[in-house]
Amino acid sequence: MPRIPIIDRSAMNAEQARVYDKAKAAGSPLGGPYFAYIYLPQLFDGAQGLRNSLAAGPLSPREIQIVNLVVARHYSARYPWFAQVRGAIAVGLPLSVISAINAQQAPSLPDVREATCYATARELLTSKGLTDQTYAAAQETLGLEGLVALTAATGSFSMTCLTANTFDIPPPADDPVPLAT
């Protein structure tokens, strides 16, 4: 059970209802950490905007999913892990990749961009930055815009995971690949 009261749409104030309805009409996420974000409607709206901006950026959907899986696993964030596994399956990431990340092992990623996304996100999280070697390799492989997007995605999804963990937002019962303990 979440630590935070879930605000029903009928109990939202005008600004909460406006941003909620806008996100719902766009088919954007409404649950998970968004249960907390709705308490600050500008944050809710901004988080949706950032999510959409990153999705339209230079990283492929698979690359974004790899980054998000790495972040969710790093924080042991159960709801975000659930949501990203679902997304990873939808974009065709093999279960072996998802399982390796879940086991905190390097997945077999023959695509150099995908492997770079994995390695760079891991290093950002574990070292709080990048060595000159990793930075150069990531910039060479992803380009400067791709590296900026990867760094922003890692930070943005860290906020998502920390929010879900802080407010103890559980995944649904139909979790296809539960987070390893």
% of the chain beyond a pLDDT of 90: 90
- Domain hosting 131: range is 61-166
Distance CA(36)–CA(32), nearest Å, equals: 8
Does residue 35 form part of some domain?
yes
* pLDDT the model gives residue 173: 81
Distance CA(128)–CA(144), nearest Å, equals: 19
Residue 116's pLDDT band (cuts 50, 70, 90):
very high
Does residue 176 form part of some domain?
no
| Mean pLDDT confidence for 17-27 | 96
Spatial CB neighbours of 62, under 8 Å, sequence gap ≥ 6: 88, 91, 92, 93, 111, 114
161 and 90 together in one domain: yes
Q: How many domains does the chain have?
A: 2
Q: How many CA atoms lie within 13 A of 166 on its CB side?
A: 11
105 and 161 together in one domain: yes
Residue range 134-158, pLDDT digits in tens: 999 999 999 999 999 999 999 999 9
Residue range 156-175, pLDDT digits in tens: 999 999 999 999 998 888 87
* pLDDT the model gives residue 175: 74
Positive or negative CA dihedral for 178, 37, 29, 11?
positive
73 and 121 together in one domain: yes
DSSP E strands, 23-79: none
140 and 73 together in one domain: yes
87 and 51 together in one domain: no
95 and 81 together in one domain: yes
Residue range 62-72, pLDDT digits in tens: 999 999 999 99
Does residue 172 form part of some domain?
no
pTM for the full predicted model: 0.94
* pLDDT the model gives residue 150: 98
* pLDDT the model gives residue 147: 98
* pLDDT the model gives residue 102: 97
70 and 123 together in one domain: yes
User: Which residue, among 59, 60, 71, has the nearest Cα to 144 in the 3D structure?
Assistant: 59
Does residue 81 form part of some domain?
yes
User: Which residue, among 18, 26, 25, 36, has the nearest Cα to 159 in the 3D structure?
Assistant: 36
